Amino acid sequence: MLKHSSIHSFARDVRGNMAMMTALMMGVVILGVGAALDFTLMTNQSSDLQNMADAAVLAAARSGEEDDETLQKIAQAVVDNHNTTGAELTVTARLDGDIVVVDITSKHEMIVPGMLGTEPQTISVTSASPLPTSTPVNLALVLDTTGSMAGSNIAALKLASNALLTEMESAEAETKVSIVPFGQYVNIGFEEKSKDKRGWINRGKEGQSWKSCWINHGGQTVCSNGVHKWRGCMGTHTDTKTAAGASAGSAKFPAAIDAYCGSEVMPLSTNFTAMKTKINSLTTGGTTYLAGGLAWGWRTLDKSAPYTEAAASTDPNLMSAMVFMTDGANNRSRGDSYWSSSGVKHNRGSDGGKAGLDLTKELCKNIKASGVKVYVVAYKLPNAKSTADVLSECASSQDTFYEPESAAELIDTFKGIARNLNEARLVYYNGDS
């Protein structure tokens, strides 16, 4: 018979408890580590499969084939080439309307299947791309027509632009193009006066009389007078944030009263004959204010006022793009109170164009963030590192930044951009063609 003290000793004895608790905790830790490892491996495997699917669908779409069996062979070949681990993969490719779709399915063996009784997990990915000719495009051609573009340079630009338009015209999908010539100002056109019902232009002192007097060398006071005129030229908002946006919001776009500017903007259009006529009529003159061209090129692609032609484009696969071409360093900024009482004109050169270049950089960032693909063509750019750096950063990637040095290279560059726009690309796919 156990003594009373022995019973109490046994009840109080906790030796060995720690070992049991440690064993139990180790099991939990092992399960946790196994689950974390499974999650990491499945995530990596899914990423690898997605990369394979993307490569496969782009290859299939670019082939131009529309037969499911042929698309399947193309996709399978690409996946086999990328499947360096020899994993068992199920690949299917098909045409859904005018969208090529590739699905890849694989299995992941769980790290701790015995403990959890878990079966292998299925991992599936999908990638889709429209056939190259089925992708609608809204394209803004933002073209430098400053004085340095006179002569052979503007002739080369006209040839290059017409070559691009010919390539774009051959696409089966709807293609809209706007043409935005720029120099020191952008000219939105006199006809926009009659469209001012929406009140988006601030024409300031237009129509008001002015008088200016000075003393000549003979000591006599000489005066001249006239009426302030608006010739379609547009200035820049004094508020930097507003100036760097597509929409003016509650503020109006400021007109550059009494300024002169070049050829008028042509909003988004499908009339390629009219586009080529516009290109062939371009004239040159003035200095370089890059921000003006960028801002108004972006506005022709935006769905809100002042240009609303883009609002009619409702295809979810629509690509918006801009070709921004210049041959010169930015040498103008928005005027200050000394140079311009309104502060909106681009007539300040005292800072070497630095403020204008800073605004250009901000505009480029915002344009790309809005989903517009930006191609930058720096044609025979002079030794202006600050402008060259900004232009390089402005492009959507280094693959869309070009530095042609001859007319032949400029033409080839514009043709290449058109072909790139017509190539296959990845799109969101929800199963509805």
Q: What is the pLDDT, as a whole number, of residue 333?
A: 87
pLDDT surpassing 70 at residue 27: no
What are the Cα distances from residue 128, in Å, to 89, 97, 131, 203, 376?
18, 12, 10, 48, 28
Select the CATH number that applies to the domain covering 134-204+234-421 from these four: 3.40.50.410, 3.30.750.24, 3.30.470.20, 3.40.47.10: 3.40.50.410
Which one has a higher pLDDT value, 244 or 284? 284
* DSSP run (H or E) holding 80: helix 68-82
Amino acid identity for residue 326 in this structure = T
Q: What is the pLDDT of residues 351-396, one digit of tens each?
A: 888 889 999 999 999 999 999 999 999 999 887 788 889 999 999 9
pLDDT band at 431 (very low <50, low <70, confident <90, very high): confident
List, as one string, the DSSP characters of 365-407. HHHHHTT-EEEEEE-S--S-HHHHHHHHHHSSSGGGEE---SH
**pTM, to two decimals:** 0.72
Q: What is the pLDDT, as a whole number, of residue 108?
A: 78
pLDDT surpassing 80 at residue 113: no
Domain ranges of the chain: 23-130, 134-204+234-421
Q: What is the pLDDT, as a whole number, of residue 423?
A: 77
Q: What is the pLDDT, as a whole number, of residue 347?
A: 84
